[in-house]
Amino acid sequence: MYKIIRKEILNVDVELMEIEAPLVARNALPGNFLIIRVDEDGERIPLTIVEHDLKNVTIIYQKLGYSTKLLSQKEAGDSLFDVVGPLGQASHIRDVKRVLGIAGGVGAAPLYPQLKEYAKRGAKVDLIIGGRTKEHLILLDKYKEFCDTVYCATDDGSSGIKGFVTQVAEIVYQNYKYDLAIAIGPLIMMKNCVILNEKYDIETDVSLNPIMIDGTGMCGNCRVTINGETKFACVDGPDFPAKGIDFDELMARQKYYNHEEDHICKMKLSK
Protein backbone atom coordinates (compact mmCIF):
# COMPACT_ATOMS: atom_id res chain seq x y z
CA MET A 1 0.00 0.00 0.00
CA TYR A 2 1.21 3.49 -0.88
CA LYS A 3 0.23 6.37 1.37
CA ILE A 4 -1.12 9.63 -0.04
CA ILE A 5 0.90 12.39 1.62
CA ARG A 6 -0.84 15.39 0.11
CA LYS A 7 -3.77 16.17 -2.19
CA GLU A 8 -4.44 19.48 -3.90
CA ILE A 9 -7.37 20.49 -6.08
CA LEU A 10 -5.94 22.48 -9.00
CA ASN A 11 -9.29 23.18 -10.66
CA VAL A 12 -12.69 21.58 -11.06
CA ASP A 13 -11.26 18.91 -13.39
CA VAL A 14 -7.66 18.39 -12.26
CA GLU A 15 -6.06 17.32 -8.99
CA LEU A 16 -2.54 16.72 -7.64
CA MET A 17 -1.37 13.96 -5.33
CA GLU A 18 1.92 13.40 -3.58
CA ILE A 19 2.41 9.70 -2.85
CA GLU A 20 4.95 7.92 -0.68
CA ALA A 21 6.85 5.56 -3.01
CA PRO A 22 10.57 5.66 -2.17
CA LEU A 23 11.84 3.10 -4.68
CA VAL A 24 10.05 4.84 -7.55
CA ALA A 25 11.10 8.30 -6.35
CA ARG A 26 14.80 7.47 -6.07
CA ASN A 27 14.96 6.17 -9.66
CA ALA A 28 12.72 8.63 -11.51
CA LEU A 29 13.96 10.82 -14.37
CA PRO A 30 12.18 13.48 -16.47
CA GLY A 31 9.77 11.75 -18.85
CA ASN A 32 9.23 8.64 -16.73
CA PHE A 33 5.72 7.67 -15.74
CA LEU A 34 4.15 5.31 -13.24
CA ILE A 35 1.07 3.11 -13.20
CA ILE A 36 -1.24 3.10 -10.22
CA ARG A 37 -4.19 1.00 -9.10
CA VAL A 38 -6.58 2.58 -6.66
CA ASP A 39 -7.67 -0.77 -5.25
CA GLU A 40 -7.08 -4.47 -5.83
CA ASP A 41 -9.74 -4.66 -8.56
CA GLY A 42 -8.86 -1.37 -10.18
CA GLU A 43 -7.60 -0.78 -13.70
CA ARG A 44 -4.06 0.47 -14.30
CA ILE A 45 -3.77 4.25 -14.68
CA PRO A 46 -0.58 5.61 -16.34
CA LEU A 47 0.46 9.04 -15.05
CA THR A 48 3.57 11.17 -15.50
CA ILE A 49 5.90 11.66 -12.55
CA VAL A 50 5.68 15.44 -12.35
CA GLU A 51 8.05 15.90 -9.40
CA HIS A 52 9.84 13.70 -6.91
CA ASP A 53 12.29 13.76 -4.06
CA LEU A 54 14.02 10.78 -2.47
CA LYS A 55 10.82 9.52 -0.89
CA ASN A 56 7.70 10.84 -2.62
CA VAL A 57 6.37 11.22 -6.16
CA THR A 58 3.87 13.80 -7.38
CA ILE A 59 1.21 13.04 -9.98
CA ILE A 60 -1.44 15.21 -11.63
CA TYR A 61 -4.59 13.65 -13.06
CA GLN A 62 -7.73 14.76 -14.84
CA LYS A 63 -11.03 13.34 -13.66
CA LEU A 64 -12.25 11.85 -16.93
CA GLY A 65 -13.32 8.24 -16.46
CA TYR A 66 -14.31 5.79 -13.78
CA SER A 67 -10.82 5.11 -12.44
CA THR A 68 -9.63 8.71 -12.18
CA LYS A 69 -12.92 9.66 -10.52
CA LEU A 70 -12.39 6.79 -8.09
CA LEU A 71 -8.86 8.07 -7.46
CA SER A 72 -10.32 11.51 -6.76
CA GLN A 73 -12.30 10.05 -3.86
CA LYS A 74 -9.07 9.34 -2.01
CA GLU A 75 -7.71 11.90 0.45
CA ALA A 76 -4.42 12.59 2.23
CA GLY A 77 -3.77 9.79 4.70
CA ASP A 78 -5.49 7.17 2.51
CA SER A 79 -3.49 4.62 0.53
CA LEU A 80 -3.34 3.33 -3.05
CA PHE A 81 -3.07 -0.38 -3.73
CA ASP A 82 -0.30 -0.21 -6.37
CA VAL A 83 2.32 2.25 -7.58
CA VAL A 84 4.62 0.76 -10.22
CA GLY A 85 7.51 2.60 -11.86
CA PRO A 86 9.45 4.41 -13.02
CA LEU A 87 8.32 3.26 -16.47
CA GLY A 88 9.08 4.35 -20.02
CA GLN A 89 12.19 5.95 -21.43
CA ALA A 90 13.52 9.11 -19.82
CA SER A 91 13.22 12.19 -22.01
CA HIS A 92 16.10 12.81 -24.40
CA ILE A 93 17.38 16.17 -23.20
CA ARG A 94 19.06 17.76 -26.21
CA ASP A 95 22.03 20.09 -26.24
CA VAL A 96 20.15 23.26 -27.24
CA LYS A 97 20.23 26.90 -26.21
CA ARG A 98 16.60 27.98 -26.51
CA VAL A 99 13.49 25.83 -25.96
CA LEU A 100 9.79 26.59 -26.31
CA GLY A 101 7.33 24.51 -24.34
CA ILE A 102 3.74 24.35 -25.63
CA ALA A 103 1.22 22.92 -23.16
CA GLY A 104 -2.46 22.22 -23.70
CA GLY A 105 -4.62 21.65 -20.62
CA VAL A 106 -3.32 18.89 -18.36
CA GLY A 107 -0.39 18.47 -20.81
CA ALA A 108 1.30 21.08 -18.63
CA ALA A 109 2.00 18.27 -16.14
CA PRO A 110 4.24 16.00 -18.30
CA LEU A 111 5.84 19.06 -19.90
CA TYR A 112 6.94 20.49 -16.54
CA PRO A 113 9.80 18.09 -15.63
CA GLN A 114 11.27 18.34 -19.13
CA LEU A 115 11.33 22.14 -19.25
CA LYS A 116 12.67 22.29 -15.72
CA GLU A 117 15.56 20.02 -16.71
CA TYR A 118 16.37 22.17 -19.74
CA ALA A 119 16.45 25.26 -17.54
CA LYS A 120 18.65 23.42 -15.03
CA ARG A 121 21.13 22.73 -17.85
CA GLY A 122 21.32 26.38 -18.82
CA ALA A 123 18.89 26.62 -21.75
CA LYS A 124 16.61 29.63 -22.09
CA VAL A 125 13.06 28.38 -21.71
CA ASP A 126 9.78 29.99 -22.77
CA LEU A 127 6.28 28.57 -22.35
CA ILE A 128 2.98 28.84 -24.18
CA ILE A 129 0.20 27.36 -22.07
CA GLY A 130 -3.43 26.94 -23.04
CA GLY A 131 -6.66 25.94 -21.35
CA ARG A 132 -10.41 26.40 -21.42
CA THR A 133 -10.31 29.16 -18.80
CA LYS A 134 -7.79 30.92 -16.56
CA GLU A 135 -8.55 28.33 -13.86
CA HIS A 136 -7.47 25.54 -16.23
CA LEU A 137 -3.92 26.92 -16.60
CA ILE A 138 -2.13 24.67 -14.11
CA LEU A 139 1.36 24.96 -12.57
CA LEU A 140 1.78 28.59 -13.67
CA ASP A 141 3.59 29.64 -10.48
CA LYS A 142 6.01 26.73 -10.77
CA TYR A 143 6.73 27.44 -14.44
CA LYS A 144 7.41 31.11 -13.70
CA GLU A 145 10.25 30.07 -11.38
CA PHE A 146 12.46 29.08 -14.35
CA CYS A 147 10.76 30.22 -17.59
CA ASP A 148 11.94 33.50 -19.13
CA THR A 149 8.50 34.27 -20.57
CA VAL A 150 5.11 32.63 -20.12
CA TYR A 151 2.39 33.22 -22.74
CA CYS A 152 -1.23 32.19 -22.11
CA ALA A 153 -4.16 31.29 -24.34
CA THR A 154 -7.68 30.51 -23.15
CA ASP A 155 -10.85 29.52 -24.96
CA ASP A 156 -12.83 32.26 -23.22
CA GLY A 157 -10.14 34.96 -23.17
CA SER A 158 -9.97 35.06 -19.35
CA SER A 159 -6.15 34.94 -19.51
CA GLY A 160 -3.83 35.88 -22.36
CA ILE A 161 -5.27 35.78 -25.85
CA LYS A 162 -8.63 34.27 -26.70
CA GLY A 163 -7.75 31.35 -28.94
CA PHE A 164 -5.33 28.47 -29.38
CA VAL A 165 -1.70 27.95 -28.42
CA THR A 166 -0.80 27.76 -32.12
CA GLN A 167 -2.07 31.31 -32.58
CA VAL A 168 0.25 32.48 -29.81
CA ALA A 169 3.13 30.51 -31.33
CA GLU A 170 2.60 32.26 -34.69
CA ILE A 171 3.10 35.60 -32.92
CA VAL A 172 6.07 34.45 -30.85
CA TYR A 173 7.88 33.04 -33.90
CA GLN A 174 7.95 36.52 -35.46
CA ASN A 175 10.33 37.64 -32.72
CA TYR A 176 12.25 34.59 -31.52
CA LYS A 177 14.02 31.61 -33.02
CA TYR A 178 13.97 28.34 -31.10
CA ASP A 179 16.24 25.34 -31.39
CA LEU A 180 13.49 23.02 -30.15
CA ALA A 181 9.82 23.00 -29.24
CA ILE A 182 8.16 20.47 -26.92
CA ALA A 183 4.41 20.21 -27.40
CA ILE A 184 2.26 18.19 -24.99
CA GLY A 185 -1.50 18.17 -24.85
CA PRO A 186 -4.47 16.78 -26.78
CA LEU A 187 -3.47 14.88 -29.92
CA ILE A 188 -5.06 17.40 -32.28
CA MET A 189 -3.17 20.21 -30.55
CA MET A 190 0.15 18.39 -30.89
CA LYS A 191 -0.56 17.60 -34.53
CA ASN A 192 -1.26 21.27 -35.29
CA CYS A 193 1.83 22.40 -33.38
CA VAL A 194 3.98 20.03 -35.42
CA ILE A 195 2.52 21.33 -38.70
CA LEU A 196 3.15 24.92 -37.62
CA ASN A 197 6.68 24.22 -36.38
CA GLU A 198 7.63 22.53 -39.63
CA LYS A 199 6.68 25.77 -41.38
CA TYR A 200 9.22 27.60 -39.20
CA ASP A 201 11.81 24.80 -39.39
CA ILE A 202 11.65 24.06 -35.67
CA GLU A 203 12.16 20.49 -34.46
CA THR A 204 9.41 19.28 -32.14
CA ASP A 205 9.26 16.64 -29.44
CA VAL A 206 5.92 15.35 -28.18
CA SER A 207 4.70 13.09 -25.40
CA LEU A 208 2.18 10.51 -26.60
CA ASN A 209 -0.63 9.26 -24.42
CA PRO A 210 -2.30 6.35 -26.20
CA ILE A 211 -4.37 3.86 -24.24
CA MET A 212 -2.04 1.79 -22.04
CA ILE A 213 -2.82 -1.36 -20.08
CA ASP A 214 0.25 -3.16 -18.74
CA GLY A 215 3.02 -0.59 -19.28
CA THR A 216 5.49 -3.23 -20.47
CA GLY A 217 4.73 -3.45 -24.20
CA MET A 218 3.15 -6.90 -23.87
CA CYS A 219 -0.46 -5.92 -24.57
CA GLY A 220 0.34 -3.87 -27.68
CA ASN A 221 -2.47 -1.43 -26.93
CA CYS A 222 -0.22 1.63 -26.92
CA ARG A 223 1.30 1.05 -30.34
CA VAL A 224 1.92 4.07 -32.53
CA THR A 225 3.18 4.36 -36.10
CA ILE A 226 6.25 6.54 -36.65
CA ASN A 227 7.80 6.77 -40.10
CA GLY A 228 5.99 3.55 -41.02
CA GLU A 229 7.36 1.61 -38.05
CA THR A 230 5.41 0.39 -35.03
CA LYS A 231 6.54 1.74 -31.67
CA PHE A 232 5.11 1.19 -28.22
CA ALA A 233 4.63 4.34 -26.18
CA CYS A 234 5.06 2.59 -22.83
CA VAL A 235 8.53 1.16 -23.56
CA ASP A 236 9.86 3.21 -26.50
CA GLY A 237 8.37 6.48 -25.24
CA PRO A 238 6.26 8.18 -24.12
CA ASP A 239 8.37 11.02 -25.58
CA PHE A 240 9.22 10.97 -29.28
CA PRO A 241 10.52 13.33 -31.97
CA ALA A 242 7.32 14.36 -33.75
CA LYS A 243 8.50 13.92 -37.33
CA GLY A 244 6.70 10.99 -38.96
CA ILE A 245 4.11 10.30 -36.25
CA ASP A 246 0.76 9.17 -37.68
CA PHE A 247 -1.45 11.40 -35.53
CA ASP A 248 -4.61 10.55 -37.47
CA GLU A 249 -4.22 6.84 -36.72
CA LEU A 250 -3.49 7.61 -33.09
CA MET A 251 -6.57 9.81 -32.74
CA ALA A 252 -8.76 7.09 -34.23
CA ARG A 253 -7.36 4.47 -31.86
CA GLN A 254 -7.86 6.80 -28.89
CA LYS A 255 -11.63 6.57 -29.44
CA TYR A 256 -11.83 2.77 -29.28
CA TYR A 257 -13.30 2.58 -25.77
CA ASN A 258 -15.41 5.75 -25.71
CA HIS A 259 -18.67 3.80 -25.52
CA GLU A 260 -17.57 1.71 -22.54
CA GLU A 261 -16.16 4.77 -20.75
CA ASP A 262 -19.29 6.86 -21.28
CA HIS A 263 -21.83 4.20 -20.31
CA ILE A 264 -20.50 1.24 -18.34
CA CYS A 265 -18.10 3.22 -16.15
CA LYS A 266 -20.65 5.90 -15.31
CA MET A 267 -23.06 3.15 -14.27
CA LYS A 268 -20.42 1.85 -11.85
CA LEU A 269 -19.94 5.27 -10.27
CA SER A 270 -23.65 5.74 -9.81
CA LYS A 271 -24.05 2.57 -7.76
Q: Which of 43, 64, 87 is the last residue of a domain?
A: 87
Asked if 105 and 150 sit in the same domain, the reply is yes
Asked if 196 and 224 sit in the same domain, the reply is no
Asked if 132 and 47 sit in the same domain, the reply is no
Domains: count for the chain: 3
pTM of the model: 0.90
Gyration radius of the chain over CA positions? 18
Please tell me the predicted confidence (pLDDT) of residue 263: 46
Cα 166 to Cα 149: distance, rounded to the nearest angstrom: 16
Please tell me the predicted confidence (pLDDT) of residue 71: 94
Please tell me the predicted confidence (pLDDT) of residue 233: 85
Q: Which residues contact 167 (CB under 8 A, 6 or more apart)?
A: 153, 161
- Peptide bond preceding 238 in cis form (omega within 30 of 0): yes
| Residue pLDDT, tens place only, 212-224 | 666 666 676 778 8
Please tell me the predicted confidence (pLDDT) of residue 35: 93
Asked if 100 and 183 sit in the same domain, the reply is yes
Domain that holds residue 11: 2-87
Asked if 166 and 227 sit in the same domain, the reply is no
Asked if 198 and 215 sit in the same domain, the reply is no
Please tell me the predicted confidence (pLDDT) of residue 183: 97
Please tell me the predicted confidence (pLDDT) of residue 189: 95
Return the CATH number at 79.
2.40.30.10
- Extract the residue ranges of the chain whose pLDDT is less than 70: 210-218, 220, 256-271
Asked if 114 and 161 sit in the same domain, the reply is yes
